Amino acid sequence: MDAFTHGLASYCVTRAAFPRAARATMLAAILAGSVANIDQFSGTVGPSAYLAWHRTVTHSMLGTLVIAIIFSVAAAFATRRQPNADRLRTILLAVLAACALHVAMDLTQNEGVQLLWPFRAQRYSADWVAYFDLWILLILLTGALLPQLLALVTEEIGAKSKAPRGRIGAIIALLAVFLYIGTRFILQGNAVAAMEARTYRGELPRRVAAFAESDSPFHWHGIVETERALHDLDLNVAPGSSFSPDAAVVSYKPEASAPLDAARSTESVRRFLQAAKFPKASVEKTNTGYRVQIRDLAEPRDARSGLRVMAIAETDPNGKVLTDELAWDQKKLSVIF
């Protein structure tokens, strides 16, 4: 998710669990809960660096622990009073909770997270939530700001409370976010079930996935793989709605060939296939041989989600690889910052 949403979530979890945390602890938790998104800057280096670092190091369990330790130490030094064992424990737990919440929220999204880096290259994602979700942002913003406004009104009329300000609002906001994500989990199951129950150009589905869209909880990006093709479609799971499999955009799989087999053996393509969910290859004849391009049809459609990577391999007429590289997908290129 975007850094602002993560910052609000970090504030809410710290205010809810540690309502009397010092300002230095609160600031450290907010920064630590947002800093993992710094891996987006790897896109300025190039597509290879982006694939290697985006949603890997800073979103892993190991990276989360390192980030929590660094910001906890910084908060301890910034505390005005000499921190004792209880304060140090509060700082560490608050910062660690914010960091862990960041990774947990990103795991619910469409983009994969390399949670076990550097031990495993596998990426995990639940596909329940889009990169930017306005509803989650509004819920967290309300939970953070509304209690502050109510407290100001209360103080204006002369009533003062000694209770920690904003704790109840933060708790309610977090519960509302969990309920919202749980609802999206149910809606995704409905979308997958609807797609599995259909046939596509006379073929049964082999693999089906539904990816969250950012505009509505009822709108999903569906992909169905059959024996000969990949079917890309929009799906609405609101009550009373239906969809037609014939409305899907069909991408037929290329026939087996020497250039395609050679491309799959290259380092660039292997790296890309480790991250791609629904890779789609195309083989084109060129003056020097063949050009193989592989894209991921499951890439988020939301322009705020970041850059898109594709794999390219050039071969001679006999299928011998001449060049291979990771490149930006110009068809889906968007501004990352």
228-248 pLDDT, tens digit per residue, is 999 999 999 999 888 899 999
Question: Are both 150 and 275 inside the same structural domain?
Answer: no
Q: 41: buried, middle or exposed (CB in 10 Å: 19+, 13-18, 0-12)?
A: middle
Q: Is the pTM higher than 0.75?
A: yes
User: Over 80: is that where the pLDDT of 32 sits?
Assistant: yes
103 falls within a domain: yes
Q: What's the average model confidence in pLDDT over 124-142?
A: 95
Q: Are 238 and 217 in contact (CB under 8 A)?
A: no
Look at residue 204 and tell me if it is in a domain. Answer: no
Each residue of 139-165: pLDDT tens digit?
Answer: 999 999 887 765 555 554 555 555 567
**Same structural domain, 148 and 272:** no
Candidates 239, 213, 235; CA nearest to 223 is 235
- Say yes or no to pLDDT of 336 above 60: no
pLDDT for 334 equals 38
Matching residue, tokens 């010092």: 22
For residue 232, the Cα-to-chain-centroid distance in whole angstroms is 20
User: Side by side, which strands form the sheet with 321-328?
Assistant: 279-285, 290-296, 309-315, 321-328
Q: Which domain holds residue 105?
A: 3-116+127-181
Number of domains the chain contains: 2
Q: What's the whole-number mean pLDDT along residues 89-116?
A: 96
- What is the per-residue pLDDT for 70? 97
Check whether residue 170 and residue 266 sit in a common domain. Answer: no
316 domain-assigned: yes
Task: Provide the mean pLDDT of the chain.
Answer: 90
Rounded CA-CA distance 67/73 in Å is 10
Q: Which of 181, 200, 222 is the last residue of a domain?
A: 181
Q: How many Å separate Cα 29 from the centre of its chain?
A: 20
Contact 269, 286 (CB under 8 A): no
Q: What is the pLDDT of residue 146?
A: 81
**Between these two residues, 80 and 181, which has the higher pLDDT value?**
181
Candidate from 54-68, 212-226, 282-296, 305-319 with smallest mean pLDDT: 305-319
- Predicted local distance difference test score (pLDDT) of residue 78: 86
- Tell me whether residue 99 is in a domain: yes
Same structural domain, 102 and 12: yes
pLDDT at position 161: 54
| 118 preceded by a cis bond (ω within 30 of 0) | yes
Closest CA to 278 of 205, 207, 329: 207
> Are 29 and 171 found together in one domain?
yes
Q: Which of 92-101, 121-130, 163-172, 225-234 has the lowest mean pLDDT?
A: 163-172
Q: Are residues 30 and 156 in the same domain?
A: yes
Predicted local distance difference test score (pLDDT) of residue 154: 53
Same domain (yes/no): 71, 176? yes
For residue 99, pLDDT beyond 50: yes
